[in-house]
Amino acid sequence: MCFVHVLLNALDMHGCGREVRVVMEGASVSLAEPLMEPGHPLHRLFIQVRQAGLLDGLCRACASKLGAAAHAEQAGIPLIGDMHGHPSMREYMDAGFQIITF
Protein backbone atom coordinates (compact mmCIF):
# COMPACT_ATOMS: atom_id res chain seq x y z
CA MET A 1 0.00 0.00 0.00
CA CYS A 2 1.61 3.28 -1.14
CA PHE A 3 0.00 5.32 1.64
CA VAL A 4 2.48 3.80 4.07
CA HIS A 5 5.14 5.91 2.34
CA VAL A 6 3.16 9.08 3.07
CA LEU A 7 2.92 8.20 6.76
CA LEU A 8 6.54 7.09 7.13
CA ASN A 9 7.97 10.10 5.30
CA ALA A 10 5.76 12.55 7.19
CA LEU A 11 6.94 11.16 10.51
CA ASP A 12 10.57 11.01 9.36
CA MET A 13 10.62 14.63 8.16
CA HIS A 14 8.77 15.80 11.27
CA GLY A 15 11.28 13.93 13.43
CA CYS A 16 14.11 15.84 11.75
CA GLY A 17 12.46 19.16 12.55
CA ARG A 18 10.78 19.88 9.23
CA GLU A 19 7.32 21.37 9.11
CA VAL A 20 5.03 18.78 7.53
CA ARG A 21 1.37 18.71 6.54
CA VAL A 22 -0.46 15.70 5.11
CA VAL A 23 -3.49 16.29 2.91
CA MET A 24 -5.45 13.26 1.79
CA GLU A 25 -6.98 13.71 -1.67
CA GLY A 26 -8.55 11.54 -4.32
CA ALA A 27 -9.08 7.87 -3.50
CA SER A 28 -6.90 8.15 -0.38
CA VAL A 29 -9.79 9.78 1.49
CA SER A 30 -11.44 6.35 1.53
CA LEU A 31 -8.54 5.05 3.61
CA ALA A 32 -9.33 7.25 6.63
CA GLU A 33 -12.06 4.96 7.96
CA PRO A 34 -10.12 1.67 7.76
CA LEU A 35 -6.97 3.37 9.09
CA MET A 36 -8.86 4.24 12.27
CA GLU A 37 -9.53 0.55 12.94
CA PRO A 38 -7.05 -0.84 15.52
CA GLY A 39 -6.58 -4.03 13.48
CA HIS A 40 -5.44 -2.20 10.34
CA PRO A 41 -1.71 -2.71 9.64
CA LEU A 42 -1.16 1.06 9.28
CA HIS A 43 -3.35 2.11 12.22
CA ARG A 44 -0.43 2.85 14.55
CA LEU A 45 1.36 5.02 11.97
CA PHE A 46 -1.83 6.88 11.10
CA ILE A 47 -2.48 7.62 14.78
CA GLN A 48 1.12 8.83 15.19
CA VAL A 49 0.67 11.21 12.26
CA ARG A 50 -2.59 12.50 13.73
CA GLN A 51 -1.17 12.88 17.23
CA ALA A 52 1.81 14.81 15.85
CA GLY A 53 -0.64 17.24 14.22
CA LEU A 54 0.60 16.44 10.73
CA LEU A 55 -2.76 15.58 9.13
CA ASP A 56 -4.31 18.81 7.85
CA GLY A 57 -7.35 16.92 6.64
CA LEU A 58 -9.22 15.29 3.81
CA CYS A 59 -10.23 16.96 0.58
CA ARG A 60 -13.83 18.04 1.18
CA ALA A 61 -14.92 17.41 -2.43
CA CYS A 62 -13.27 13.99 -2.66
CA ALA A 63 -14.58 12.89 0.73
CA SER A 64 -18.10 13.98 -0.20
CA LYS A 65 -17.96 12.25 -3.59
CA LEU A 66 -16.50 9.01 -2.20
CA GLY A 67 -18.70 8.78 0.89
CA ALA A 68 -15.92 9.42 3.40
CA ALA A 69 -17.08 12.78 4.76
CA ALA A 70 -19.37 11.56 7.55
CA HIS A 71 -16.79 9.20 9.02
CA ALA A 72 -14.07 11.84 8.82
CA GLU A 73 -16.23 14.29 10.74
CA GLN A 74 -17.10 11.63 13.34
CA ALA A 75 -13.39 10.84 13.75
CA GLY A 76 -12.52 14.53 14.12
CA ILE A 77 -10.60 14.67 10.85
CA PRO A 78 -11.07 18.08 9.20
CA LEU A 79 -12.55 18.36 5.74
CA ILE A 80 -10.62 21.05 3.91
CA GLY A 81 -10.91 22.78 0.59
CA ASP A 82 -11.57 26.43 -0.15
CA MET A 83 -11.00 25.94 -3.88
CA HIS A 84 -14.37 24.59 -5.02
CA GLY A 85 -14.13 21.98 -2.26
CA HIS A 86 -10.50 21.08 -2.95
CA PRO A 87 -7.43 22.15 -0.95
CA SER A 88 -5.36 24.74 -2.80
CA MET A 89 -1.74 23.78 -3.42
CA ARG A 90 -1.03 27.47 -3.95
CA GLU A 91 -1.93 28.23 -0.32
CA TYR A 92 0.58 25.64 0.89
CA MET A 93 3.24 26.94 -1.51
CA ASP A 94 2.58 30.53 -0.40
CA ALA A 95 3.14 29.33 3.19
CA GLY A 96 6.56 27.98 2.17
CA PHE A 97 5.70 24.30 1.81
CA GLN A 98 7.12 22.10 -0.94
CA ILE A 99 4.41 19.91 -2.46
CA ILE A 100 5.20 16.19 -2.55
CA THR A 101 2.66 13.79 -4.03
CA PHE A 102 2.49 10.02 -3.71
Closest of 36, 20, 29 to residue 95, by C-alpha: 20
Tell whether 77 is covered by a domain.
yes
Number of domains in the chain: 1
Mean pLDDT taken over the chain: 97
Q: Is 51 helix (H, G, I), strand (E, B) or coil?
A: helix
Tell whether 72 is covered by a domain.
yes
Closest of 67, 64, 71, 101 to residue 85, by C-alpha: 64
Percent of the chain with pLDDT over 90: 97
Tell whether 2 is covered by a domain.
no
Structure confidence at residue 102 as a pLDDT band (50, 70, 90): confident
Q: Looking at residue 47, what is its pLDDT?
A: 98
Tell whether 83 is covered by a domain.
yes
Tell whether 84 is covered by a domain.
yes
Q: What is the mean pLDDT of residues 36-64?
A: 98
List pLDDT tens digits, range 15-30: 999 999 999 999 999 9
Tell whether 56 is covered by a domain.
yes
Task: Find the domain containing 88 and state its range.
Answer: 23-95
